[in-house]
Structures are given as C-alpha cells and as structure tokens.
A and B are shown apart, each in its own frame.
Chain A
Amino acid sequence: MSHLSFSLQVLFSGLAVGAIYALVSLGFVLIIRATNVVNFSQGDFAMLGAYALVTFFTMLRLPYGLGIVLSLAVMAVVGVLFNYGVYYPLRERTYLPVIISTLGAGIFMENVVLALFGPQPQPLAKVFSSPGIELGGVFLDSQYLVILAVTAIAVAFQWFFFEHTLLGKKLQATSQDKEMARLVGIPVAWMIALTFIYSATLGGLAGILIGPILFVSHGMGGTIALKAFSSTVIGGFGDVKGAIVGGLLLGVVEAFAGAYVSVPYKDAFGFLLLFLFLLVRPQGIFGERVAEKA
C-alpha cells in the first residue's frame, strides 16, 4: 500500500466520521441559535432515529426507503413532544433549568429504549448492499459514501431553506432577536417548535446513517454527542458553517492522529484540538468575539 493511498484511506474515513459529527453538531447549533441553550439530548435523537429504522425495517420488514421516511416522521413527532415537554414549560426561565431538563430527557429516552428493545446492540442494513468500491488502492465504504453525500445534501438544503425561503428567514429572525421578531408578527413559539422538529429529524438522520457502521445501541448517542459538541465549540458556538467545518476537522484530526501517532490516544487528540481552540481562539473558527459589556 503506497503512502498516498494510505493517507487517502485515513482521510476518507476521517471525513465520513466527521460528517456524522457535523450533522449532530448542526442540530446543536440550530437549537442554540433559537433558544440560547445547549440540548444535551441531541445525541439521543440519533439513537432514537436509528431505533426507529430498526423497528420499521428489521422488525416490521417494511421497504428500506419507506422505513427511513417513517423514521424521520417519528423524529419530527419526537421534536414536537420534546419542544412542548422539555423546553416550552421552562421557556421563561434561565438557561440552566432548560439544560438540566434536556439532560433528564436524554436519560429518559435511553432508558425507555433499553426497556423496550433490551440491552443487546442491533445490527442495521446498509443503504446499499454492496460493501463499497476500490479506487486506486483506497477502499470507499458504500455507507461512508452515503454519509458524505447525505451530509452535503442536508447542508445545501439547509442553506437554501434559511437564505431563500420566507419560513427560513422567519426562523433566522427569531434566532437573532425574539422580541423584534414578535413585534413584526412572527409566531415565535411556533418557530422554536419548528426548530426542535428540524433538529430532532436531523439528529435522527445522523443515527440512521451511522447505525450500520457502529450498530444500534441505547448508549450510542453519548459518544457522538460529546464529539459533536466539541465540533460546535471548535467551529464557533452557534455558527452553522462552523458546525460543519468543526465536525469534519475533528473527524480528520482524529483519524490522522490515530494512523500516525497513537490509536489509543485518538480521542485525546480530538479533545486536545478542543482545548487548543478554547485557549487560543475561544470563539471558534467562525465565531465572533463577544465583547465584554461595559
């Protein structure tokens, strides 16, 4: 195996894992922008999405495509319930009760799944039955290719939606200034509910995509969410571009650190990157420096 194809192999897997971090991280960012709180059960949305597909595809034997559509619909419903059960009752409080509420919701979701599906991890079929293709000595896993393609489409869709549709602009206005948005007649509560629906669906999509690689278990959300949160901080807290770049960067840094330095300390390098950013550029890659108020 040549040195180039070795590096490309590492780069490819790093980008694919990074794309998952990016998808979950996008969910974090949207909620941070809309509500100013971090949703600590974002990783559990991924877990729920994957279990929804296990239910529809593996257990009920529905077609794969239909299973995915139904799973995303389930996640949209989860988003509604999450908004009205976890966020809405506490919306007038400071950020802390809301954060604790999301933490509690995450523990609740994990244990409900544990009770319903049992502790044994479940395998999940890939989107394509082909394992992948070999290109110039580099093996491209079909599921990793799907992950990269779907992430690119999701990002493009999101950009178009926020910049070129009225609903997207209303959402942006809500996240920038709720009072002002309310004054110009935007239904703020409904906009926030929509944000939860969207980020739950996005989280579920990440779970559906990574399920065939990591298998589906009730604890799968934890590690992903931790890395995605790091991506959010690295990219710029609450910045959409930052979530994507931060996720990909973290995935690639981890993969190369694993291949060239040390596999056991792979995760440590990811967090070292986070630490360096907090030290040198705490606002992240795309974040704006927050000036101290006089």
Chain B
Amino acid sequence: MSVEIPKEKWPGAVREVTLGASHGAGTRAATVTVGGETTLPFLHFEGVMPHRPVVAAEVADAYPADWSPELLTTLGEAAHDPAAWASSVVEQGADLIALKLRSCHPERGDTSASDAVRVVDRVLAAVGVPLIVYGPGVADKDNEVLVAVAEATKGECICLANCEDKNYRTIVAAALGNGHVVAAFSPIDVNLAKQLNILISDMGLPLERVLMDPNTGALGYGIEYTYSVMERLRLATLMGDSMTQQPMICNVGEESWRQKESRVPEGVPAEWGEFATRGVLWETITATTVLESGADIVVLRHPRSIEQVQKSIADLMTPPGAAVAAASPSGPATATAS
C-alpha cells in the first residue's frame, strides 16, 4: 500500500555560526561550525542538517568543591587544574571547552580580571578546540572580566557568555571589537529571545556571530518549558522569522548536576536507583531531550555523559537505513582541520 510521506517546505533555516579561529587568524587546531539546519532536528527525510550538534565540556577555573560528589570523584585530580582538566575532556570526546570563570564571583573568591585572563590563556594553550568563556554571572563582574578576556584573546573567535538583557551592550561591544561570538541568554521566552537578538543585531554584530541560550531547565525541574520554547523557536526559524534563526546552546551540565537526584547519594528513595548512573542519566537525558528540540551545542560535565551523548548524536545524524558510524567526537562533520 503506497504511503506518501508528508514533508514540510520550510522557507527559513538556522544561521551558521563558527567558533574558534585557525589558519593563523587564531591558534585553534580546528574550528567548529554549528547551525544551517533546514528542518526540525534530525529529520533527514525532510531537509538538511549540515553540521552535527556538538558537545562542549564544562571546565571550572578553580576546584568546584560544591559540585556533586559523583563528578568530583570521576574528575579526580584534573579538577584542580583547568588546563589539565580541559585536555582530558577533549581526549574523552568534547568538541569544545566551556570555561566557567566561577572564582571571579564576589562570593567565591572575587579573583581579578587579570587572573581570569591567565586561566583563559592556559586553557587555550592546553587544547586545540574552540572556547566558550562564561563570566561569574554577576552583571558588573561579568562585564569587567569578559571584556578583559575578549581583549586578551583578540581574533580567537571565542564565545562570550552570557550576553543578556542587563549587560549586552558591553559584551557585544567586546565581541565586535575583538572578533568574538556571543551567547545571548534569555529566560525561557520566545519573545525575549527574539528581542535580545534584535538588540544585539542593532549594535552591528553580525548574526553569524550570535548563539542563543534559551535557558535550560533540567529533567524533572522545568525541562518541559525549555523543550517547548525551543520547539517554538525552531519552528519560527523555519517559518522564516529572521530574528530567531540563531543556533542554540544549552547549559545542561550545570542544571542537571545541581538537582537532588544527581547530588545526593544517600537518604533518598530506593526507587531512584544507583547514584552514579542516576546522575549521569539525569544529565544525558536532559541533553538528548534538548538536542531533539533543537539544541546545537550542549554543555556537559560528566565524561560518561559526554560519551553517551556523542554516541546518541552519531545515531541521530545517520539517515534511516544507513549503518551508524562510530561516534566521532572530532569527526569531519563539523571540525575543519587546519
């Protein structure tokens, strides 16, 4: 019996954004390009997905003593040294490094902008993959630290995060002047995401240098809001709404590892199951769920999650009927070797 597969003819597409600079423009061994989709995630029968989604591994600038015991046990000694930490997670399959400048936070050490620049330089020297750099999340300090980092890494095309409503002018100016990308963060709202893209674009930063972060709710803690906002953003993208066409980045590790399920080994119901795997799965399922609603970059913490998510992406990128290639973390789909 013949069946006609319904296919949508979408007028719009996700913009392509490239992170990192190589070939002498910057020091990266390879750049990473995301975006370009002309259909909903992984629907290869309908459109193209020219770049596979990628995994950024989260690295903290100082030992994250407040993280889940499962993460600290697994990361071990490397967690004391951001450069060693970054090298090891790249070996484990990360496509990018998301460096979090946590110790600049006024309540977590209040380290200076020049301290931040030193850490960024060390991580850049330790790995060949592109970098995303997160400020401490306090507007004033973000501005101070990220501007210094942007100037010190001029031309490296790092991604400055977060760029939000309250600080976008400073962050966008720093990206404009130094050849960087920004991650535009908005709180789970289609219109706010769109509005921020407009404001950033009005300042003259090409939209080929803007990622959007729709704010990630973890599994069990609001993932459904993120999921639906991302689906709505992606549908708007495909319908041709120019100011929603940015690739999306989701901070999955931070959100999923701060929940009780992934942080508390004892004194929880037996029905939650074994602690270490539960935490990894909490992160993995949060990641695959946002990937299937449109994420282009997921930021993860646990090496086992990174491995599992890379494996899932390889499967999802394989068109029906074809054999799945082994997960290739730095595979040819996205990375352009210099």
The answer to whether A and B come from one shared complex is no
Interface residues of A (CB under 8 A from B): none
Interface residues of B (CB under 8 A from A): none
